Chains A and B, each alone.
Chain A
Amino acid sequence: MATVVVQRPKLKWHEKAFVLSTLWKGLKITLGHAVRMLQGKTKVTMQYPEQKWDDQLPEWYRGAPTLVTDEQGRERCVSCQLCEFICPPKAIKIIPSEIPSDDPWAKVEKRPKEFDIDMIRCIYCGMCEEVCPEQAIFLRKDYAITGESRAEMVHNKAKLYEIGGVREGLVNKWNELK
């Protein structure tokens, strides 16, 4: 490619003597910005705690990972631990347990006894959601996860279900209907 030699602009005398025209040019830019700002035409930073962008979050937004129950109130997780193994920062810890035989969902066989997600470690990559064969773990739109201690930042099973709520989904292999 041919080299393009850019000519240095030749300054006129009134531009060289700084005060005369260049100062005016510069002031026009800065004052223009000031006027547009004062008229409220400039879009500025959102004032965060007062204004929030919750209603503008896209459908695919990846917030805090949560566990969900299905339409019959069954916890969907069968503690296969795939999410625990795929989790890149190793934020998920699952202790599986068996479902006792007198339980109406005894045929599911397993459910988590404990399910902890360490929100300090979580990187919101969404791999757990991707890998879950039961569609039990979903990334919700919660993004302001705060706590005053490390222990508070670990979401346990109860907390995960509380955020997650109910989700009706495609997986219905455990239903009576089938």
Chain B
Amino acid sequence: MTVLLGSIDLTFLAISLAKIIVLTFMVILPMVAYSVMAERRGAAIMQDRVGPNRTNLPLTLLGFKKDLSIFGMGGLLQPMADGLKFILKEDFTPKHVRTFYFWLAPALTMVPALLTCAVLPFGSELNLGFLGLAQPVKAVIADLNVGPLYTFAIASLGVYGIVLAGWSSNSKYPFLGAVRSSSQMISYELSLGLAIVPVLMVFGELNLGKIAAAQDADGWLILPLWGHGLSLGRLLLWIPMLISFVIFTIAMFAETNRMPFDLPECETELVAGYHTEYSSMKFALFFLGEYAAMIIGSGLAVTLFLGGWSIPFGPLLGLGYTPGATPLWLGLLHIATFFAKVIVFILFFIGVRWTVPRFRYDQLMKLGWLWMFEIALANVLLTAVIMWLVPLK
């Protein structure tokens, strides 16, 4: 027992805990809240409207003359107001539902979405020497050697939440939404998985942190313009990598039930889809789970294809990553780069949502099975042929 207790590295535990708390509760969750707001404001901007711009710090409650708007931009506290509204609303459980599963389903949507952020490398490393730590701290919660596999394994649990919600609601629209969702997610997981096979072939590596570091040194997968990236093999591999990226992104839209693929919700046909019977915080959990999945999906796409935390042309500018010898400011800059890329990707998600109309169901299945699956498969073959003809190293 003493040996067991002695073998636990308390510093490691404390650092991990700090990383979990900071990343999940202080970065991802606020990002979820604010991406909801960005969605609403973005939609308004694209549709020539104003959007929510009234929610400010309610100083008038304390007797001041005006509410305080942050940065002079109204409505920045809208997410807090939304959250408060969800908490204060009646949490209604209809008579006809299966109560246990009805209560389980929202948690099953939210939890996997947050779990997947464990393997995302959100920065290179932080040199916390001033705190007395000899080793620099890696900016990833769990440095797993099976990163993408872990992500897919957990992310595909998300469909259980939706299926359980639809089934336990015991009413027709949620049920239809759940059926659609399960078949859609299963179809698109195939192309999602196949799309990253070429990536894994190029790196020979399943550790997301090492994949990001390799891209920092040798050029991003879709921008191979420095380091070894300028070799003939890598430039030829540009084509299959771009195809992979496009397929991965489309499949990611489908996995997160975002707009061109939001058939599980589909307001015009299915009321609200699988969460028709839900109210208050349980509905909010579905909502937040969807956005968390979107953020983490963006994070994965950024890590795999857009170089993760690496700054474009970083090694040439002297902003590259050197293991064990990255100064603190550069580590922080890398973290900021990662989140900047994720935010740009989320804005892309939002732009596409208000651009592309929803697919018809048979078109969705056709696109998934007859186009993306085959192209992804052929892409694996193409990558293999290129790598066989022009060996990388």
Q: What is A's interface to B at a CB cutoff of 8 Å? A: 17-19, 23, 26-27, 29-31, 33-34, 37-38, 42, 44-45, 47
Chain B interface residue bracket vs A: 10 to 19
User: B49, A27: Cβ atoms under 8 Å?
Assistant: no
Residue in chain B with minimal CB distance to A46: B50
Residues of A within 8 A of B367 (CB): 18
A26 to B371, CA, bound (A): 21
Residues of A within 8 A of B47 (CB): 33
B356 to chain A, nearest CB (A): 6
Main secondary structure on chain A at its contact with chain B?
helix
Interface hits, B228-287 → A, CB 8 Å: 246, 250, 260
Residue in chain B with minimal CB distance to A20: B246
A26 to B358, CA, bound (A): 13
A147 to B232, CA, bound (A): 78
Q: What is B's interface to A at a CB cutoff of 8 Å? A: 42, 45-50, 246, 250, 260, 351-352, 354-356, 367, 371
4 tightest A-B contacts by CB?
A: A26-B355, A30-B46, A30-B355, A37-B45
User: A29, B49: Cβ atoms under 8 Å?
Assistant: no
Residues of B within 8 A of A23 (CB): 352, 355-356
User: A33, B46: Cβ atoms under 8 Å?
Assistant: yes
Residue in chain B with minimal CB distance to A44: B50
User: B355, A33: Cβ atoms under 8 Å?
Assistant: no
Contact of B45 among A19, A27, A33 (CB under 8 A): A33
Residues of B within 8 A of A45 (CB): 49-50
A92 to B24, CA, bound (A): 64
Residues of A within 8 A of B250 (CB): 19
B60 to chain A, nearest CB (A): 13
15 A-B interface contacts by CB (under 8 A) = A18-B260, A18-B356, A19-B246, A26-B355, A27-B352, A30-B46, A31-B46, A34-B46, A34-B351, A37-B45, A37-B46, A37-B48, A42-B48, A45-B49, A47-B50
Residue in chain B with minimal CB distance to A25: B355
A45 to B260, CA, bound (A): 29
Tell which of A18, A30, A33 has the most Cβ of chain B within 10 Å.
Answer: A30
Tell which of A17, A29, A37, A42 has the most Cβ of chain B within 10 Å.
Answer: A37
Contact of B351 among A31, A37, A44 (CB under 8 A): A31
Tell which of B49, B246, B355, B371 has the most Cβ of chain A within 10 Å.
Answer: B355
